[in-house]
Structure 1
Amino acid sequence: MIKSIGTDLVKLERIKEIGIEKFAERILSPKESVVFKTITNELRKLTFLAGRFAAKEALFKCFKKGDLTANYKDFEILNDENGAPYIESKYTKELISHITITHTEEFAIAFIVLEYAEYK
C-alpha cells in the first residue's frame, strides 16, 4: 500500500550560482560526500548534486510536514552495485522506497514512492 509520493525538479544553474562545493557541504551526508569527492568532472558533480537535492526535496514532499526535525543530511541517496539509487534514512526504515533520478543539461528530477512494508 502506497504511503506517499513526491517529486521535485531542480534547475542546475541554481546550484551553480550558489557554488557547487558550498551546496555540497549543505546537503550531502558523510557517505554521499565520499562519493562526491571522487567525481572529477565538474558537470558530473553538478548533476550528482542536483539529483540528490531533487530526491531529498521529493522526500520532504512525501512526508508532508513531517516532524520538522529532518534536514537534508538525514537522507542519504546512494547507489547499488548496478548504479540504481536507493534511500537510507532513519525516517524510511519502516517503509519500502522506490526512487528514480534523471537529468538533462538544464534540469534534474527525482520521483519517489514510499510504501508501507507490512503490505508487501
Structure 2
Amino acid sequence: MITGIGTDITRISRVNFRIGKRVLTEKEKIARKNNAQYIAGRFSLKESFFKALGKGIGSHSFKDISFLNNSEGKPYLVLHKDFEGFNFCHVSLSHDDYAFSTVILEKLEGKIFLALGSNIGNKEENLTKALELLKDAGITILTVSNIYETKPYGFTQQDNFFNIVVEVETHLSPMQLLKTVLSIEKKMGRKREIKWGPRNIDIDILFYGNLVVELDNLTIPHYDFENRNFFIVPMNEIAPSYKHPVTNISIKDYYENLDKKDQEVKNWTLKNLKVLKSK
C-alpha cells in the first residue's frame, strides 16, 4: 500500500552553497562534488520526501535524512531519525535546468527480517520462546526458516549456535522494533558479558524493507550481514530473491558466493513450527 507520494521541482540556477550548508549531511558532502546540480537534487529529493510524509518538513530537519547513490548511480534514502508508517522508499531524480524528483513511500506486508540465535541451555526452546514473545508483542510471524547449527563467530571458545531467520510484519518503526527485541532479550535473561560471547538468545534486525537506517544505536541493514553465514544461509531458505537495499545483491547471490566449508548445516524443523507461524 502506498502511504505517500511527494514531488518537487527546483531551478538549479537558484541554488547556492549557502543552501548546501543547510541541506546536506556530512555523508552527502563527502559522497560527491558539491556543485549546484548536486545540491539542487538533494534539496528537491528531501522536499519530496517530507511532502510524501503528508505534513511537510514541520518539526523535521533536512539533515534527518540523506540521499546517497548506490554503485549503479541510483539514489537511495538513509534515515538518521526514526520514522514510522512505511518500510519501502522509492526514489527518482532527473536533472536539466531543473532538478525534478519523486519519492514514493510504501508499506508492504512483511519484508522485515530478524535473525535469532542461541547457544546456552535448551537452544531450541529458547528460539521457540523468543518467537512466542515476538507474537505477544504484536509482531506477526510470516515465515520461519529451519534451524541451522553454526560455529561461533568472533569469540570461538563457546558452544555452537542454533540460528534461524524469520520474516515478520509489524507497524513498529525501526527504533520501536529495536526496543521491543531488546526487551524480549532482557525478559529472557540475556546477559551481555563478553562481546560475541555465549547467549541464551540474540535477536538482530537484518533488514527493514528497503530502508537504510543509521542512528546512534541502530544500523539497518545489519552492518556485517555479508560476512555472517548464519544470517545468509537461513535467509536464503525463506527469501532468496530479496535484494540488499544498498548493494542491490540478492540473498541467493550472497549464498552462492559463500565458503560453505566453514558452515555446518542441519535442517532441523523447529518444534511447533505451524503453531508459531502467525499465518
Provide the aligned length of Structure 1 versus Structure 2.
109
Deviation at 1:5, TM superposition (A): 0.5
What CA distance in whole angstroms lies between the structure 2 residues aligned with 1:100 and 1:67? Answer: 19
Larger RCO, structure (CA 8 Å, separation 6 or more): 1
What CA distance in whole angstroms lies between the structure 1 residues aligned with 2:56 and 2:8? Answer: 17
Counterpart in the other structure of 2:23: 27
Counterpart in the other structure of 1:96: 88
Q: How does 1:8-47 map to 2 (within 5 A)?
A: 8-15=8-15, 19-20=16-17, 22-36=18-32, 39=33, 45-47=35-37
Identity over aligned pairs, percent? 32
What CA distance in whole angstroms lies between the structure 2 residues aligned with 1:81 and 1:92? Answer: 27
Counterpart in the other structure of 2:60: 70
Q: TM-score, normalised by structure 1?
A: 0.81
Equivalent AA in structure 2 for residue 108 of structure 1: A
What CA distance in whole angstroms lies between the structure 2 residues aligned with 1:103 and 1:67? Answer: 23
Counterpart in the other structure of 2:107: 116
Structure (1/2) with the larger helix percentage: 1
Which has more radius of gyration?
A: 2
Gaps of at least 5 residues in structure 1 are none
Q: Is the 8 A contact 2:3 2:85 kept in 1?
A: no
Q: Deviations over 1:4-42 (max 9, x none)?
A: 111000011211xxx32x111100011001124xx2xxx
Counterpart in the other structure of 2:44: 54
Deviation at 1:45, TM superposition (A): 1.1
Query: Alpha carbons of 1:86 and 1:93: their partners in 2 closer, same or farther (altered >3 Å)?
Result: farther
Q: Which runs of 4+ in 1 moved over 6 A?
A: none
Query: Alpha carbons of 1:68 and 1:9: their partners in 2 closer, same or farther (altered >3 Å)?
Result: same
What CA distance in whole angstroms lies between the structure 1 residues aligned with 2:14 and 2:20? Answer: 13
Deviation at 1:91, TM superposition (A): 2.4
Deviation at 1:99, TM superposition (A): 0.2
